[in-house]
Amino acid sequence: MIFDNHQSLPEIFFNNAAKHPDKPLLSIKVNGEYQDITWNTIKEEVYGVAAYLASRGVSKGTKVAVYSENRPEWWVYDLAVLSLGAITVPLHAVSAVGTVELILHKSGAQICFVDTEERLSILTLMSRKLPMLKEYIIFDKISTKKRNIKQYSDLISKKLKPADYKRIDNSVKKVKRTTTATLIFTSGTTGEPKGVELTHHNLISNVGQVEEAMGSYLDEKDAFLSFLPLSHVLERTAGYYFPMATSKKVNFAEDITTIQQDLIATRPTILVSVPRIYEKMHAAIVGKVANASPVKKAIFKFSVAMGQKAVPYHCKQKELPFYLKKPHSIAEKLVLSKLRNALGMDKLKFAISGGGPIAYSDMTFFIGMGVTVLEGFGLTETSPVTNLVLPDDMKLGSVGKPFKNTKIKISDDGEILIKGPQVMKGYYRNSKATKEVMTKDDYFKTGDIGVIDEEGFLYITGRIKDIIVTAGGKNISPQPIEQVLRTSRLIEQIAIVGDNRKYLGALIIPDFDELTSRLTARGVGVGSDKKEIVNSPEANAVFREEIDSLTSSMSRVELIRRFALLSEEWTIDGGELTASLKIKRNVIQEKYRSIIDKLYSDDAE
């Protein structure tokens, strides 16, 4: 297995830093322009931070947290802590305050790195409830002078002695593959956060599996764009450890809201994202075309149609048949190549989608546009990747075959079970929960439902905990229905409800631009008050027609009989979305309980 001769993640980093000290490793936007940071610069900062932490007693098993958005200092924090055999505890930068406090308490973190003064103030307010948390290290420069608050810049500016370097090097040598590297607290879409304990072995094995599968498609010029939160294991492994281990450059997006501008500025060759991002980009393109002239609309429609016809050939890397070559060439010249260039996707070798199922319409749109989208599967508990579709072995709708040394089987009740070196050590200080998710023959119970075809491709069909059991005893997986409905330009977000009810209902956040456009086309006057819009009978009539049209071929039990339009978008900050932008059904069910009850209050069916 690749990287089998390495004991720890810091060992991989320091070895690569020695090979190409002056090569760009990271790039960040400074005053509107991207500037490179070399391997040597990051290496020296890692030494500086690790030396300080060692002086504060941080050693094997010490928990050190980070509460920050993505930035180069996040990498330095992580590598410095891991170099000492200590354990990193990442916090989502937009988590609810109560969740941050809970994770810090459960983990017993003694030091917390933090990016801004605003987040520092949140931490200091809860300090009395966290007696273990003794010190804060802040990335931004602030004027506050307190003994327990240290400036990151002071740590990296201190001149180290040869003995300091030697101390860190010796510490790195003592870190074993079995050493716990990180505690990632995740509740997924349900329940209280549990600390997933991942070892260096788990993470290095997974990086090696990705390299084994994808290495032949990559070269030294490849570059990533990092925008998913580093606190989430998908970005941590695929967007940080993997490029670090394979010596690829990583560009940091300025913000998750500026992805489009950052794509154009950096033009990466590899993109790691979640379905929600592709969905929003697709909707934005279609929405923009809707306002174009009839001629431009017709050219776009023709070009997209030619791209769609080419999808099956692209997936199998087959040459287009002669009757498609010329029209596709025209479409490529008129629209497709220009669209990729305008989106900053013209250099993309492939875009990876993980963290949840991507809609078929979104995937085929981008593949038809000339962007190879590879869907994968995994969980925090599996470091995370277990399956990935490969560029020359694609099956649409599948998440691919399992990685090398990964075994997958389906239980009698349809649950996907996984065994492999990337499967977690367990849940931190929760042997009961760990035992509950492991079979007697040491397979991890994913909680996902799926099937494996005759060629070994895995297909995800739902989540066990998300299954809706109607009052009539019908078991319905909401995700496939939601995917179909999200193809509508009217629908921004949706959650299907109906557990123990006679039929399905839905909570829907509209795309207000599209809804306003359709209402205006019908001669309906529209104001700016979103609450008034969602409560208007005209808006609800538009949605009734749209839902009925999209679900016309579904079975009776899958039809949406009632729905409610909501005015406020679901967010990570609001608690309705996970870090990978999946909906938290338990939170939504509780938060909108009264609205859901009203959907069934006059139930006569």
How many other C-beta atoms are found inside a 10 Å radius of the C-beta of residue 559? 14
Question: What mean pLDDT do residues 82-106 have?
Answer: 94
Q: What integer is the mean pLDDT of 313-332?
A: 95
What's residue 273's pLDDT? 95
User: Which letter does DSSP use for residue 111 in this model?
Assistant: E
Domain boundaries, the chain: 9-186+218-272, 467-599
- As a whole number, mean pLDDT of residues 276-299 equals 90
Local confidence band at 143 (pLDDT 50, 70, 90 cut-offs): confident
Task: List pLDDT tens digits, range 421-478.
Answer: 999 999 999 999 999 999 999 999 999 999 999 999 999 988 898 889 888 888 899 9
What is the SS3 assignment for 508? strand
The number of C-alpha atoms within 13 Å of 370 and in the hemisphere containing its C-beta is 20
pLDDT for 97 beyond 80: yes
List the structure tokens of 284. Answer: 């934005």
Give 353-367 pLDDT, tens digit per residue.
998 889 899 999 999
Confidence of residue 605 (pLDDT cuts 50, 70, 90): very low
Long-range CB contact pairs, 312-320, < 8 A, 24+: 314/367, 314/368, 314/372, 314/394, 315/367, 315/394, 315/395, 315/396, 316/394, 317/391, 317/392
Question: Is the pLDDT confidence value at 603 over 70?
Answer: no
The DSSP result for 532-588, as a single string, is HHHHSHHHHHHHHHHHHHHTTTS-GGGSEEEEEE-SS---TTTTSB-TTS-B-HHHH
pLDDT over 90 percentage in the chain: 83
Cα–Cα distance between 14 and 33 in angstroms, integer? 28
Would you state the pLDDT for residue 578? 85
> Residue 546 in contact with residue 601, Cβ under 8 Å?
no
Quick one: pLDDT at residue 604?
Answer: 43
For residues 298 and 564, what is the distance between their CA atoms, to the nearest angstrom?
A: 35
Of 367, 254, 361, 277, nearest to 313 (Cα)?
Answer: 367
How is domain 9-186+218-272 classified at the architecture level of CATH?
3-Layer(aba) Sandwich (3.40)
465-510 pLDDT, tens digit each: 888 988 888 889 999 899 899 999 999 999 999 998 999 999 999 9
Of 209 and 581, the structure prediction assigns the larger pLDDT to 209
Q: pLDDT band for position 393 (50/70/90)?
A: confident
CA–CA separation, 41 and 21 (whole Å)? 8
Beta strand extents in 421-487 (DSSP E only): 426-427, 444-452, 458-463, 468-469, 475-476
Provide the pairing of β-strand 24-30 with 401-402.
Answer: unpaired
Predicted confidence band of residue 187 (pLDDT cuts 50, 70, 90): low
Of 428, 514, 9, residue with least CA distance to 185: 428
Confidence label for 190 from pLDDT (cuts 50, 70 and 90): low
3-class secondary-structure state, position 86: coil
Q: Is the peptide bond before 72 cis (omega within 30 degrees of 0)?
A: no
Instruction: Specify the DSSP class assigned to residue 129.
Output: G
pLDDT digits (tens, 9 = 90+) for 518-549: 999 999 888 889 999 999 999 999 999 999 99
> Which pair of tokens denotes residue 308?
């769609």
For range 247-252, the mean pLDDT: 98
Read off the tokens for 591.
Answer: 């938060």
pLDDT at position 574, please? 86
What is d(CA 22, CA 162) in angstroms, rounded to the nearest whole number? 21
What pTM did the predictor assign?
0.89
pLDDT of residue 283: 87
Angle of helix 72-83 relative to helix 9-19, nearest 10 degrees, comes to 120
| Segment 74-103 mean pLDDT | 95
23-27, 39-43, 275-279, 399-403: the lowest-pLDDT one: 275-279
Beta strands 194-199 and 426-427 are antiparallel
Tell the CATH superfamily of the 467-599 domain. Answer: ANL, C-terminal domain (3.30.300.30)
What mean pLDDT is reported for the chain? 94
Q: Are strands 385-388 and 401-402 parallel, antiparallel or unpaired?
A: antiparallel
DSSP-based three-state secondary structure for 18: helix
Stretch 144-149: mean pLDDT, rounded? 88
Residue 371: per-residue pLDDT? 96
